[in-house]
Structure 1
Amino acid sequence: MTSTLDPIREATRLLDEAWAGAESGAALSRTQLLAVNEAIGRLKRAADAVHAEVAARIARESRHELGPASLAKQQGYRNAAQLIATTTGASTGEALRLVTVGEATAPRTNLIGEALPAKFPALQETLSAGRVGAAAAGMIVAFLDRMIPKVGRDAAAEAERLLVGLAPGLSADEVRRAITRTEAHLDPDGVAPREDALRAQAGLSMFERGGMLHVNATLDPARAASVKTAIEGFVSAGFAAKHESDDPGSDRRTVAQIQADALVHLAEHGLTCLKNQTLNGATVVVRVNAADLEAGTGSGRIDGIEQPVGIDTVRRMAGGGSVIRWTCGQEGEILNWGRNRRLFSRTQRLALTERDGGCAFCGLPPSMTKAHHIEWWARDLGTTDLANGVLLCETCHHLVHDNGWVIRIDGVGIRAKVWFLPPPGTGAPPRLGGRARTERIA
């Protein structure tokens, strides 16, 4: 008579046989290592099958309608998933997956007590035989549950047989890819709507912490292809150069470090490409005292980045770009700038960035701002001077002008302070803007 535990017993026997003669894993031969690894994999898959069956039964004995008689609550847990996760050291997600797989592969009964096959019988057979583990089974169950309402039970059953035939011997990532391709074949009309949904989820966030810029991106397949291909190409070129080098050990960067270098390389190329008109004139600007740059002392600041950089880094960055010098008077005013023009010059914009640090109202980085006249050029006949200019992002530009804020500049030059005076009657206090809001300006 067969038992649910027979696959576990057989896997344990194979593990004992493979381990024979060795006191520890360090003493295993290469042949034994492979045999032990295979036996452990078989044991884990067999244990997953038994655990899924037990988890489903625990969930049934812990269902909500039992109230205080729930098995989980009697043991001091809110639900079956918490009981399983806590007692096995798994995550709640892993416990829920076990329950889901167990329920999808357990025998069923109808309303009059007649026995019915499992919801997914082909998967149940493969799982019980120890040919797939809980991770792969969980992905297959989720996929089939999603597809039944779309394509019907017959088509889903065909997909089930296909996937359980492919899954043994595949990693979880490979099973996921097989499911994705099966879904595209099974529901071709659903590909475009899924693309739209994925595109709507795309996004990128950036924040500074601990002196590092953290970049988190989620991209839909079509746009991800360009990013992934470019970064992988950079990595491949790096490995090829390392292989051809006389000293292959000289480059000790990890793949993650090379990928980071690839992102920097692509950004630098975009900023310096003369044909690129999509970045709104964005330029990396590093600010440093000329005497410090020549003497190799002090530090510099990069527009839009909080963390200061050392003088060696400033020199290295200057070597790849150009150095623009300006002369300040005793009050910090720029002595040499363009006049008789409506648009602020590049030198004036750099001076405004030195004073305002970015959007003078909300603090967005300089690359996301434009230089605006405080007294309008056309309406107020305002001049294109530093004292009549301010850096604002598009949102704050409309907010300030549309809501009646008044901008006042106290002082002259790059050490002046920018004040935003609220509309009359609001009771709000004047707001200090620019760098002076967060920095002590000498």
Structure 2
Amino acid sequence: MSFFADVDERICAMRGLLGAVVEAVDIPREIGALDDADVVALLNEATAAARAIERITTVASAIVSRRSDRDAGHGGIAQSRGHRNGAAYVQSVTGGTRAEAAKQIRVGEDLLDTLGSSDEPEAGIDGSNVDDADSPDVDADSSDAGPGEPKSAPPPWHAALSRALMDGRLTAAQHDAIRRGLGEPPDGAEEAWELAASVLAAEAASLPLEELAKSARTIRDRLDQDGALARFRARHEARSFRMWTDADGVQHAHMAFDDDGALWMRAISDAALRPRRGGPRFVDSAERAAARSLTDDPRTNDQLAYDLVMDLLRAGALAEAADVFGARQPGVRIVHVVDRDGASAGLFPHAEEDGVPVPPWIAAAARCHAGARECTVDGHGNPLDVGREHRLFTPKQRVALAVRDAGCRWTGCGRPASYCEAHHIDEYASGGRTDIDRGILLCRFHHMTLHNGGWTVTREGLGDFLLHPPGGGPPGVLHPPLATRYLWGVDPPPRRFRPAA
């Protein structure tokens, strides 16, 4: 189906659902009269149509930018219309922010570089003529160029993202998140980056945009550890804290964290505000009372976080932990993967909460002041030391589950491990064992969804966890986060970039 035929089909579907809407002001009333199924269908059709039009907007924005560069002078598209540059003109037309206009132009530039521009109409994504777009794919290196004739250049490593965007499998925002998260590959690593881009594009539909961007950055750091070390050091050098007073006399502050400081600040905030953000329910009576008190507190989360930081500064190192944090003292747990003989496995340590790599020196410092707890796992991250007959998972088992799952396993959730509860996939009351390989981490919301909604989780041996919907139907696989699969080698690209020795 041609591009505009697809758009027309979407518009016809919307017209069929809404009927003959005479004016735009009638749309809220007409949609409000639809039943649930039709509202969902309308949303899907409208989203598909908007994503199709977004492709045109994105490419047009990049061409406007190119035709508004310095060389164009006052005759450029933007300048001749009273704007300083292409981004300013795109912003005025779209009504978005300058950052959104810049993003559209960045993505459009990638599409032009990958798929060809108006200056090179014959260039397709693989160097072939666009008139032959329906012909079988050919290897770019096996062109029909004769002796002495130049061969077509291979597509850039991020071509898979451009294809996914133009096929409707990615939005411009998802494309930009992956592209910026992965950054540019080191010399010789283009194949690893290409494969990572393909995997991330396939996962994009099931991940929130923030999680997609974080996964891209984490995978980049795992593939390029030399570059990651440089980025760790750069963030450390960029750490800062400053205060200023605005015109109304309000005092403001800005802080840029290094990796260690960010881990601690996040752990402190999570420990204090977890009940407000959907933390675990299975706690003792004292913690339940404290959680209810915090939930009923009239302050906003931002106000609570501010008061917490001020209490910490006032209390300093002399305060008892319970005076500030209540029953649950915050802490940062670092996971360091080693081989069976105790040697480093060649991977960066990572934060238990989200699997984000941390510099080796942070892990070394953590071992010095907090000690270490060993957790033996197999090559796929499955803990080998299983539990025993307890009703609830023990603290050591919770550590092992956090190492393996890195948070809620429900597809697309992204809640960190400290916000999760350990679910028995075999009901304990029916004889199920509290063993690590029969447990899975779920956030409170999805744990309740599973129990109250008729969902079930099964697992064959150490295979995938399968989520079965209520009323039957094919199950879905509950994968751990993509970055964690890269770590354990469960679902990585077939080749991992390693810099030459």
Please state which band the TM-score falls in when normalised by the shorter chain: 0.5 to 0.7
Q: Deviations over 1:159-197 (max 9, x none)?
A: 221221121243221211111121022212222211110
Deviations 1:124-153 (A, max 9, x none): 221122222212212333345x32344532
Aligned to 2:2: 2
Report if aligned partners of 2:275, 2:295 keep a CA contact under 8 Å in 1. no
Corresponding residue of 1:136: 174
Provide the rounded CA distance (Å) in 2 between the counterparts of 1:102 and 1:111. 15
State the one-letter code of the partner of 2:268. A
The residue number in structure 1 matching 2:215 is 178
Residue of structure 2 equivalent to 1:269:
315
1:199 aligns with 2:199: no
Whether 1:43 aligns to 2:49 is yes
8 A contact 1:198–1:220 mirrored in 2: yes
1:109 deviation in Å? Answer: 7.4
Task: Evaluate the alpha carbon distance shift between residue 112 and residue 139 of structure 1 in structure 2; reply closer, same or farther with a 3 A threshold.
Answer: closer
Task: Answer whether contact 1:52 1:99 (CA < 8 A) is retained.
Answer: yes
Which of 240, 262, 275 pairs up with 1:224? Answer: 262
Cα distance in 1, alignment partners of residues 207 and 292 from structure 2: 38
Percent of pairs with identical residues: 22
**Residue 72 (structure 1) aligned with residue 86 (structure 2):** no
1:436 counterpart residue number: none
On the 8 A contact 2:181/2:217 being kept in 1, the answer is no
Structure 2 alignment gaps of length 5 or more: 21-27, 126-154, 322-501
Secondary structure at the aligned position of 1:235 is classed as: helix
Query: Could you state the TM-score of these two structures normalised by the residue count of structure 2?
Result: 0.47
CA contact (8 A) 2:58 2:105 kept: yes
After superposition, give the CA deviation of every residue in 1:266-313 in whole Å (9 maximum; x if it has no partner). 2232175399xxxxxxxxxxxxxxxxxxxxxxxxxxxxxxxxxxxxxx
Distance 1:165 1:274, change over 3 A: closer
Change (3 A) 1:57 1:17: same
Aligned equivalents of 2:13, 2:259: Cα separation in 1: 43
Q: Structure 2 CA distance, aligned partners of 1:153 and 1:166?
A: 20
Aligned equivalents of 2:17, 2:259: Cα separation in 1:
44
How far 1:253 moved relative to its partner?
2.3
SS in 2 for 1:182: helix
Instruction: Give the match's secondary structure for 2:298.
Output: coil
**Matched position secondary structure for 1:231:** helix
What secondary structure sits across from 1:90 in the alignment? coil
One-letter identity of the residue aligned with 2:79: K
Q: Distance in 2 between matches of 1:249 and 1:163?
A: 37
1:54 paired residue number: 60
Q: 2:303 aligned to 257, 261, 274, which one?
A: 257
Q: State how 1:40-439 maps to structure 2 within 5 Å.
A: 40-106=46-112, 107-108=115-116, 115-117=123-125, 119=156, 120-143=158-181, 146-208=183-245, 210=248, 212-236=250-274, 244=289, 250-270=296-316, 272-273=318-319
CA shift for structure 1 position 111? 10
In structure 2, the CA distance between the partners of 1:238 and 1:138, relative to structure 1 (3 Å rule), is closer
- The count of corresponding residues between Structure 1 and Structure 2 is 273
Q: 1:269 to 1:172 in 2, by over 3 A?
A: same
Q: Write the distance in 1 (CA, Å) between the matches of 2:177 and 2:201.
A: 11
User: CA distance change for structure 1 residues 30 and 218 in 2, over 3 Å: closer, same or farther?
Assistant: farther
Whole-Å separation in 2 of the counterparts to 1:85 and 1:238: 38
Residue 400 of structure 1 corresponds to which residue in structure 2? Answer: none
> Relative CO higher for 1 or 2, CA cutoff 8 Å, sep ≥ 6?
2
Distance 1:113 1:206, change over 3 A: closer
State the one-letter code of the partner of 1:2: S
CA deviation digits over 1:35-89, x for unaligned, max 9? 4444443333323222112222323333433334422233232322222111111
Q: Is the 8 A contact 1:7 1:130 kept in 2?
A: no
Corresponding residue SS for 2:185: helix
Cα 1:54/1:30, change in 2 over 3 Å: same
Q: Of the two, which has the highest radius of gyration?
A: 1
Question: Partners in 2 of 1:50 and 1:104 — Cα distance?
Answer: 14
Distance across 2 between alignment mates of 1:249 and 1:89:
39
Aligned-CA RMSD value:
3.5
Aligned partner of 1:258: which letter?
A: L
Partner of 1:322: none
